[in-house]
A and B are shown apart, each in its own frame.
Chain A
């Protein structure tokens, strides 16, 4: 790849990572004032804030690489659904509390393996963002792990809800380990990460936690893909409606 291509690819990659973060951050923020109890409400809001913070760092870097005067807000608020490149697992509606925690567990375990690799990136900005995010993710994982145990090995109702969430989310986890040519080339260039190589460790850790929580690891018999090419579930459009409304109705609005 020429230098120019590499820069454009890095910009696209930073945008994708920003999309993952802002979409999950928004989904988590929907729990604010809706949490099952005060401390949990605060915890979910804090985790949401960490993701929105990551999105800001990734988008700011993408904007810097684009060099056309765009800002993080343009990336978050003025792109349409098909331009978003987040992995689908992040955009699924928050569901019940079990669903939110199972998704968080899957994503947290993924990130505890992914971020240390990104922290080795030859791109110092991406490496810096990853180093910052690792610490937060470890903190998130302890909580999602504890909730998995408490709910999985809890009452019959909580166990059922957890198992149902696992079954409905499992097919969306495969996309976490995909790489299109752009991501593969970035990984080869030492900027990105070979995600496929992370799956054995992810599967082992997730399986151990689910088993400990008396839950069953599903079979790999279905998979949904498309986030990285802009094919989304119907849910993202509805979410962006909420997320982008204010900025689109009152451009540049501040308070």
Chain B
């Protein structure tokens, strides 16, 4: 039997984590950790991968964010929440810019974010597999966030928000959201 393998960290996530680690603007990163996704309030915009970068440019803070999906209506709320958090912490002046390239990917979710999703009752995106490699949602086999059974089936490829699909567990019978791999 092989020993339990070391979990593989997506390179995209590693890159993000390094960007933050090497940034001198520790305080502003921490303030922005308070900003949560309005649809999934357990998840910070950092853990979700929406927060790309923070820089100090010509005497102001430039906060770069990126939408998960093109039409994600949460972006306006996120911008307002960032502004409120920075105002409250007196981190001014600032500018919030929206970047669309490189395109957001679920690989940017932090390991902590994946755990928080699971605890909140949303199955985190599954890596690997043929369907997932093409950014598609599999028909079955996504682990139930409630009872951990893999005996699940897809009810709909779309869900309550652009980033989720709907599944049902065939063991505990609970329906649950699956955070789509993108």
Contacts and interface: CB of A to CB of B under 8 A. Distances in A.
B105 to A, nearest CB: 8
B103 A46 contact: no
Contacts, number: 79
B28 interface: no
Contacts of B10: none
User: Which of B69, B71, B159 has the most chain A CB within a 10 Å cutoff?
Assistant: B71
Interface stretch (B12-20, B109-117, B150-158): B150-158
B25 interface: no
B101 A39 contact: no
B103 A135 contact: yes
Main SS of the interface on chain A?
helix
B182 A42 contact: no
A43 B180 CA distance: 14
Contacts of B24: none
Contact of A43 (B70, B136, B157): B157
B70 A138 contact: no
Given A39-B166, A42-B158, A138 B134 contact: yes
Interface stretch (A49-57, A72-80, A93-101, A157-165): A49-57
A124 B69 contact: no
Nearest to B100: A128
B136 A138 contact: yes
A186 B162 CA distance: 33
A131 interface: yes
B129 interface: no
Contacts of A51: 71
B27 interface: no
Interface residues of B, number: 25
Contacts of A92: none
B49 interface: no
A49 B69 contact: yes
B41 interface: no
Q: Categorize the interface residue count of chain A.
A: 20 to 34
B103 A132 contact: yes
A124 B101 contact: yes
B103 A53 contact: no
B134 A54 contact: no
A133 interface: yes
Contacts of B128: none
Interface in B135-163: 135-137, 155-160, 162
Given A57-B70, A136-B70, A142 B157 contact: yes
Interface string B96-139: 00001111100000000000000000000000000000111100
B101 A136 contact: no
Interface string A97-139: 0000000000000000000000000001101110111011011
Contact of B156 (A42, A131, A133): A42
A143 B158 CA distance: 10
A56 B135 contact: no
In the complex, the 9 A-B pairs of residues with the closest C-beta atoms, listed nearest first: A53-B71, A53-B70, A128-B101, A49-B71, A39-B156, A43-B158, A46-B158, A132-B103, A128-B100
Given A133-B70, A136-B70, 5 more contacts: A49-B69, A49-B70, A53-B72, A56-B71, A135-B103
